[in-house]
Structure 1
Amino acid sequence: MEYKALCFGFFCILFAYYVYIPIPENIEEYWKVRIIHAGMEIASLMATLFESMGLMKFEDIFVMIMALQNTMPVSDENITVIDTELSDIPVRLYLPKRNSERQRPAIIFIHGGTFTAGSFKMHCFDSLNRETANKLDVVVVAPDYRLAPQYPFPAALEDCISLVKFFLQEKVLAQYGVDPARICISGDSSGGALTAVVTQLLQDDPEYKNKIKAQILLYPALQAIDTLMPSYQEYEHGPFLSRKVAIMLSCLYLSDDKQLAKAILKNNHVPEESRHLLKFVNWSDFLPEKYKKNYVYTEPVLGKLKASYPALADSRVSPLLANDSQLQRLPSTYIVTCEHDILRDDGLIYVTRLRNAGVPVTHDHIEDGIHGAVSFATSPFYLQIGLRIKEKYIRWLEENL
């Protein structure tokens, strides 16, 4: 009993310490975000301690926390919700019940979670997909791809590509009453990365070219080349997603070698032979002046990491590495970036490059936004910024799909 009281007291002290760590003042619902940030900091500390003690791996804490948010497939008077498999990939389907005289659009939503955690079952994603299907009378398909580190690159991408290609078959589209001319792929965070890559690969495939009408990227992670862009430095400690946690988790998609994570944290992980790729992610060329502030571009240190990780230079990991001719073929795109987010500059650079390539792009930059905002648009937080992004997402689909 004394041990439990001691642990509880220590937790309270720790929480009080983290909840009073300053975060940017212009964030809406300041204290809610502070609590969210404190929770993430404590989770990161526990993950580090437990791994050093040999009790569990760093990523296990985050996998457990996200799994606590999983929901069952619950249908209602408007939507039939089914957990099933398409092309051997687990999916959750949202099928409108009301009669329709026309074929419906379809949205394939790819969830985020740093490639290591998360599921279509999470309450936040289930709520988003349910509301989208209900308000827009669309079919929504949400896949659960294989996760790292058990299944490293390219497993997640292979699953997403397999699912999308299977769904695009005429007989499958007909089965669900989907209009083949109105299909959108969307995703958030690492799911945004997978969305961008899948869309690029499909447009490069003669059999599937032009079969995707639109793509949506919500605060996407789009490159693994330069982890010291201005946003990575300015928001190194969050709020919510810190640079260390993002790198520690997402690099497991490439390798479980701890040396890789350490090198990426120092930004000296890029091989010398990949120098030619730096032009695609050079923030001094593509970042709007407003976001450069007083930061000075410094080229990532090349050739210091002796081990070979070919995926680092692969555009299937970093869709920002696609050349301009590849980008020119992409469909209408909607991108949401958040100001207080280490991944802000990934999205801003992609907006610039897509527009330079002639791609129709709608961009919403959320000045008081944080990474993962949509994940907090449901209980127990109900962040207004998350609700607003959800509304923008649904409105864009309604107007463009």
Structure 2
Amino acid sequence: MAVVYMLLVLFSAVFIGGFLLLVMAAINFDLSNSEIPPGVTQPVKLRIVHIILIITAVVGRILENIGICSQVGFVRYMQGRTLGVDPKLFIKDLWFDKVPVRIYQPKIPSAGQRRGVMFFHGGGWVFGSFETHEKLCRCIARESESVVVAVGYRLAPEHKYPAAYEDCLNATIHFMKNAEHYGVDPANVIVCGDSAGGNLAAAVSQTLAGRSDLPRLRAQILIYPGLQALDFNLPSYQQNQGVPLLHREHAAFYVLQYLNGDAANVEEVLKGCHIPIDIKLKYSKWVSPDNIPERFKVRGYKPHVLLDCTAEVFEKVKRFCEPNLCPLLAEDACIQQLPESFILTCEYDVLRDDGLLYKKRLEDNGVQVTWCHLEDGFHGIINSFNNGWLSFPAGKRGLDSVVNFLKSL
């Protein structure tokens, strides 16, 4: 019995020691590879959140190396959480045209038909689920008294582009055709998404803009969306390249995972030698630092020299020029048909300039835009609106702006 006890003590000591080493390594990695600008409020909280994510990724890698599960699978599992019953909402899991969805319907009686919100979660097309955005969807449904439909689209790298886009599009079309069944006005349907979900919302909105067989979308809500993959050297990518929770290299990594199921060409993408110069020049009227207001360059910006690419590399990433993947590249004729829009950007986010460039394109083409810019915000902050002691006030401000926009429709 004494031997067993000693073995348990030894095992516990080894486990605790290993965990402490892991935590110390994660802290060192964060401090060495991340930068939190002075303008971010509560920087210690942000570092803690980032360190937790690093530890989760490292444990996932260890488990993958010893053959227990994949790193991606472990991270997805750790992100999931079940909240249980909500006294103010009916919540039900359904299928829309073979796509899993979770619908949130307010219990409070409505005088007429409600607005409907199709919600596409973020997570770099690789992560994210109903559970990761459960609090957010519940809050939007309750506070705006809208019917919210969260879409469980297929994830990369198992399912490459255009799988996620097609799932979001098909689920939205199904809902629009059957909106009245859920007490929703078919003429008051909004697409909404954060990060990669913002990309999907923009792509779906563009596709539906020219459809004559469906009601027109009422609006699109794009929360720090990623909208292009031609230039990862815009001012925001340079200024915020090491700011959690989305580093510049990770932004390139995720879009390559979505496109090809691997990130073999991430270095070429970061250097800008993945797209031929003539194509870059063709789209420079839309994707250019010249279209970014000067006040967003004061924290530093060094113009990037145009680099050409090999035919082999371009062959692997040429679909970056498709608007369904990079909505910022859509033609003006499509942009002009888009519905009223809401765009949220964060100052300390590599994707800030994607949102600013799209805002300019929409406004230049006569589309009404409501813009919310979180001066102290960082990528992913909306999900922190109600995260206990790791909540950030800017996340709540951003979510309130989304809810207020919905209530104005």
Q: Does 2:261 match 1:275?
A: no
Hey, what does 2:4 align to over in structure 1? none
The amino acid of 1:173's aligned partner reads A
Aligned runs of 1:33-112 on 2, under 5 Å? 33-42=46-55, 60-61=70-71, 63-72=73-82, 74-112=84-122
Indicate if the aligned counterparts of 1:263 and 1:305 stay in contact, CA closer than 8 A: no
Indicate if the aligned counterparts of 1:334 and 1:363 stay in contact, CA closer than 8 A: yes
Cα–Cα, structure 1 residues 12 and 47, in superposed 2: closer, same or farther, change >3 Å?
A: closer
* TM-score, with length taken from structure 2: 0.88
Q: After TM superposition, give the deviation of residue 185 of structure 1 in Å.
A: 0.5
Aligned runs of 1:187-198 on 2, under 5 Å? 187-198=193-204
Q: After TM superposition, give the deviation of residue 66 of structure 1 in Å.
A: 4.1
Q: After TM superposition, give the deviation of residue 111 of structure 1 in Å.
A: 0.4
Gaps spanning 5+ residues in structure 1: where? none
Q: Distance in 1 between matches of 2:203 and 2:30?
A: 37
Q: Which of 145, 153, 156 in structure 2 is aligned with 1:145? A: 153
Q: Distance in 2 between matches of 1:162 and 1:299?
A: 41
Indicate if the aligned counterparts of 1:90 and 1:143 stay in contact, CA closer than 8 A: yes
Aligned runs of 1:1-400 on 2, under 5 Å? 1=11, 3-18=14-29, 20=31, 22-42=35-55, 60-61=70-71, 63-72=73-82, 74-122=84-132, 125-169=133-177, 172-208=178-214, 211-272=216-277, 274-293=279-298, 294-298=300-304, 300-304=306-310, 306-307=312-313, 308-309=315-316, 310-380=318-388, 381-399=390-408
Cα–Cα, structure 1 residues 340 and 61, in superposed 2: closer, same or farther, change >3 Å?
A: farther
In the alignment of these two chains, the number of paired residues is 392
Cα–Cα, structure 1 residues 133 and 161, in superposed 2: closer, same or farther, change >3 Å?
A: same
Q: After TM superposition, give the deviation of residue 302 of structure 1 in Å.
A: 2.6
Indicate if the aligned counterparts of 1:153 and 1:253 stay in contact, CA closer than 8 A: yes
Q: Distance in 2 between matches of 1:246 and 1:275?
A: 19
What SS does the corresponding residue of 2:350 show, helix, strand or coil?
Answer: coil
Q: After TM superposition, give the deviation of residue 97 of structure 1 in Å.
A: 2.0
Q: Distance in 2 between matches of 1:61 and 1:383?
A: 28
Provide, for residues 137-190 of structure 1, a one-character-per-residue CA deviation record: whole Å limited to 9, x for no partner.
211111100111111001111111111111111xx1221111112111100000
Q: After TM superposition, give the deviation of residue 374 of structure 1 in Å.
A: 1.4
Q: Distance in 2 between matches of 1:180 and 1:140?
A: 13
Q: Distance in 1 between matches of 2:68 and 2:307?
A: 32
Q: Distance in 1 between matches of 2:15 and 2:354?
A: 44
Computed over aligned residues only, the root mean square deviation of the Cα atoms, in angstroms, reads 2.4
What SS does the corresponding residue of 1:259 show, helix, strand or coil?
Answer: coil
Q: After TM superposition, give the deviation of residue 305 of structure 1 in Å.
A: 5.3
Q: Distance in 1 between matches of 2:170 and 2:395?
A: 30
Gaps spanning 5+ residues in structure 2: where? 1-10
Q: Distance in 2 between matches of 1:54 and 1:202?
A: 46
Structure 1 stretch displaced more, 141-150 or 370-379: 370-379
Cα–Cα, structure 1 residues 305 and 368, in superposed 2: closer, same or farther, change >3 Å?
A: farther
Q: Distance in 1 between matches of 2:353 and 2:263?
A: 26
Provide, for residues 32-73 of structure 1, a one-character-per-residue CA deviation record: whole Å limited to 9, x for no partner.
11212333445566677888x68699xx54553343232447
What SS does the corresponding residue of 1:205 show, helix, strand or coil?
Answer: coil
Indicate if the aligned counterparts of 1:275 and 1:302 stay in contact, CA closer than 8 A: no
Q: After TM superposition, give the deviation of residue 295 of structure 1 in Å.
A: 2.2
Q: After TM superposition, give the deviation of residue 371 of structure 1 in Å.
A: 0.1
What SS does the corresponding residue of 1:306 show, helix, strand or coil?
Answer: helix
The amino acid of 1:244's aligned partner reads E
Q: Distance in 2 between matches of 1:111 and 1:227?
A: 23
* TM-score, with length taken from structure 1: 0.90
Q: Distance in 2 between matches of 1:226 and 1:54?
A: 38
Cα–Cα, structure 1 residues 26 and 296, in superposed 2: closer, same or farther, change >3 Å?
A: closer
Indicate if the aligned counterparts of 1:73 and 1:82 stay in contact, CA closer than 8 A: no
Provide, for residues 353-393 of structure 1, a one-character-per-residue CA deviation record: whole Å limited to 9, x for no partner.
11111110011111100100012223342222212211111
Indicate if the aligned counterparts of 1:225 and 1:281 stay in contact, CA closer than 8 A: no
Indicate if the aligned counterparts of 1:219 and 1:337 stay in contact, CA closer than 8 A: yes
Hey, what does 2:3 align to over in structure 1? none
